[in-house]
């Protein structure tokens, strides 16, 4: 089993107007305070280092652009710092937004350097990104998937083929490809793919035998996406297992149930993500410009956010704190009750990777550090035993490319 830690690294400001919501392409950067930002960046780095100390196998970072709910606009900057200040945990980038890169050679060099500096601890993840990323970086939405797939193919060739060589694609052209930096891991770092609602992306990940990480979704919809992966893997000639699938969800642990609920509630407060309840929604043309999603992806996204007769979304990230807790979208409690609830997720979904999203929203640094301590001391050891009992190998126990057993990750 592989256990990771993640936080969106949100901007924190006590008087952030609720009408601003996540601020995606709606709030001027005149509101950015570099002094506040310096404190927050360093706070989040301290928390990630402590997560490694507490025994998490991986530290996940991601990126969003023109979005205060995620300060990590350039994930590779954070990953490069972590490559030097950590020593054991995998550095998981979920992920770099390939379609917005006009120069994937620069990305190949950046990731190779991170892998070398970390001595082979990089796990690069590739995503297509949302509408705001394409619009902010002037990337045509209708070419999103084409650019994603071509950039991926270029990166793999660059990492695995000695240069110099020439690349003439539809969207990218190079007369001379010969970066001096190449990855530490061979043939290249293991690639993971995160997602929420795109059948096409799940099938693409399965075709390439890349582990697929379902991000903060309802359990029943996650099961549907997992089944798509299993079916696509079978069509590709292999049997997928837990090592190919992961799940991320919110979690907060405290010594008492009451405190867990009181503090855990802050995960949905503060500078809200675009999927949190009560937030001002991004304009439709920002969230989903024409051409960026397929009909099936849009249909599943509507199902994920569907309201009942009362007008409330009862499950998923737009639901209330209470409803998310009731549907296992958010796990809060004492170590004992959290282990019991996580076991239910492990039994229901059978993922080989679980990524805990903690310290988000308006949560204070002290609360985040306390939950990391309790997780490291009591939750993680119990999860590893449950993983062995249920037969849930992670991607470092069984190689997703070959399904051959590997040495277990040191906890």
Identify any residues that bridge with 355 across adjacent strands, giving them in sequence order. Answer: 4, 248
Nearest of 336, 383, 327 to residue 57 by alpha carbon: 383
Q: Is the distance from CB of 177 to CB of 167 less than 8 angstroms?
A: yes
Distance (Å, whole) CA 22 – CA 272? 5
Q: Which long-range contacts (CB under 8 A, 24 or more apart) does 336-343 make?
A: 336/378, 337/257, 338/251, 338/253, 338/379, 339/378, 339/379, 339/382, 339/383, 339/386, 342/251, 342/379, 342/383, 342/386, 343/386
User: Tens of pLDDT along 140-199?
Assistant: 888 999 999 999 999 999 999 999 999 999 999 999 999 999 999 999 999 999 998 789
Residue linked to tokens 């609602």 = 197
Residue-level pLDDT at 393: 98
Residue-level pLDDT at 411: 39
Residue-level pLDDT at 410: 41
Q: Is the distance from CB of 380 to CB of 368 less than 8 angstroms?
A: no
Does the domain made of 2-304+313-390 have the CATH classification 3.20.20.30?
yes
Q: Is the distance from CB of 264 to CB of 361 less than 8 angstroms?
A: no
User: Tens of pLDDT along 327-360?
Assistant: 898 999 999 999 999 999 999 999 999 999 999 9
Residue-level pLDDT at 89: 98
Q: Is 55 left (phi over 0), alpha (psi -120 to 50) or beta?
A: left
How does the average pLDDT of the chain come out, rounded?
90
Residue-level pLDDT at 285: 57
State the alpha helices, DSSP H only, in 143-208: 144-160, 199-207
Distance (Å, whole) CA 73 – CA 66? 8
In this prediction, residues 43-70 reach a mean pLDDT of 95
Tokens linked to 78: 């954070």
Judged by average pLDDT, the poorest of 19-28, 150-159, 322-331, 368-377 is: 19-28
User: Tens of pLDDT along 235-256?
Assistant: 999 999 999 999 999 999 999 9
* pLDDT at residue 387 greater than cutoff 70: yes
* pLDDT at residue 8 greater than cutoff 70: yes
* pLDDT at residue 76 greater than cutoff 70: yes
* pLDDT at residue 264 greater than cutoff 90: yes
Residue-level pLDDT at 160: 98
CA distance between the termini of the chain: 10
Query: Higher confidence at residue 23 or residue 92?
Result: 92
Residue-level pLDDT at 10: 94
Share of the chain above pLDDT 70, in %: 89
Three-class SS of residue 15?
coil
Nearest of 246, 383, 258, 271 to residue 332 by alpha carbon: 258
Tokens linked to 265: 């509630």
Residue-level pLDDT at 2: 98
Residue ranges per structural domain of the chain: 2-304+313-390
Query: Higher confidence at residue 350 or residue 299?
Result: 350
Query: Higher confidence at residue 212 or residue 276?
Result: 212
State the alpha helices, DSSP H only, in 186-256: 199-207, 219-235
């Amino acid at each position: 089993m592989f256990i990771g830690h993640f936080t969106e690294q949100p901007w924190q400001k006590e008087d952030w107007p609720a009408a601003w919501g996540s601020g995606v392409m709606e709030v001027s950067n005149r509101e950015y305070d570099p002094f506040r930002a310096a404190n927050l960046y360093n706070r989040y780095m301290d928390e990630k280092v402590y997560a490694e100390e507490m025994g998490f196998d991986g530290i996940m970072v991601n990126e969003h652009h023109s979005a205060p709910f995620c300060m990590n606009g350039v994930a590779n900057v954070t990953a490069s710092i972590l490559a030097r200040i950590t020593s054991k945990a995998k550095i998981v980038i979920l992920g770099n937004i390939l379609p917005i890169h006009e120069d994937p050679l620069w990305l190949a060099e950046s990731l190779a350097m991170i892998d070398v500096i970390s001595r082979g601890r990089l796990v690069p993840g590739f995503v297509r990104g949302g509408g705001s990323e394409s619009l902010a970086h002037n990337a045509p939405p209708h070419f999103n998937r084409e650019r994603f797939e071509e950039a991926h193919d270029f990166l793999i060739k660059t990492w695995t083929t000695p240069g110099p060589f020439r690349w003439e694609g539809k969207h990218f052209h190079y007369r001379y490809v010969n970066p001096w930096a190449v990855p530490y891991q061979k043939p290249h770092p293991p690639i993971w793919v995160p997602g929420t609602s795109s059948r096409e992306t799940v099938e693409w990940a399965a075709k390439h035998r890349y582990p697929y990480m379902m991000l903060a979704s309802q359990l029943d919809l996650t099961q549907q996406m997992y089944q798509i992966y299993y079916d696509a893997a079978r069509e590709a000639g292999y049997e997928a297992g837990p090592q190919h699938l992961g799940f991320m969800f919110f979690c907060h642990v405290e010594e008492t149930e009451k405190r867990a609920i009181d503090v855990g509630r802050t995960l949905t407060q503060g500078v809200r993500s675009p999927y949190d309840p009560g937030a001002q929604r991004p304009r439709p043309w920002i969230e989903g410009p024409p051409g960026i999603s397929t009909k099936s992806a849009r249909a599943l996204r509507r199902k994920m956010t569907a309201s009942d007769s009362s007008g409330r979304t009862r499950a998923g990230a737009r639901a209330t704190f209470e409803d998310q807790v009731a549907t296992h979208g958010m796990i809060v409690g004492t170590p004992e009750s959290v282990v019991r609830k996580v076991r239910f997720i492990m039994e229901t979904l059978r993922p080989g990777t679980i990524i805990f999203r903690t310290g988000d929203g308006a949560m204070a640094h002290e609360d985040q550090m306390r939950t990391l301590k309790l997780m490291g001391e009591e939750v993680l050891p119990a999860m590893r035993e449950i993983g062995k009992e249920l037969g849930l190998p992670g991607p470092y126990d069984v190689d997703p490319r070959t399904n051959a057993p590997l040495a277990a990750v040191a906890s």
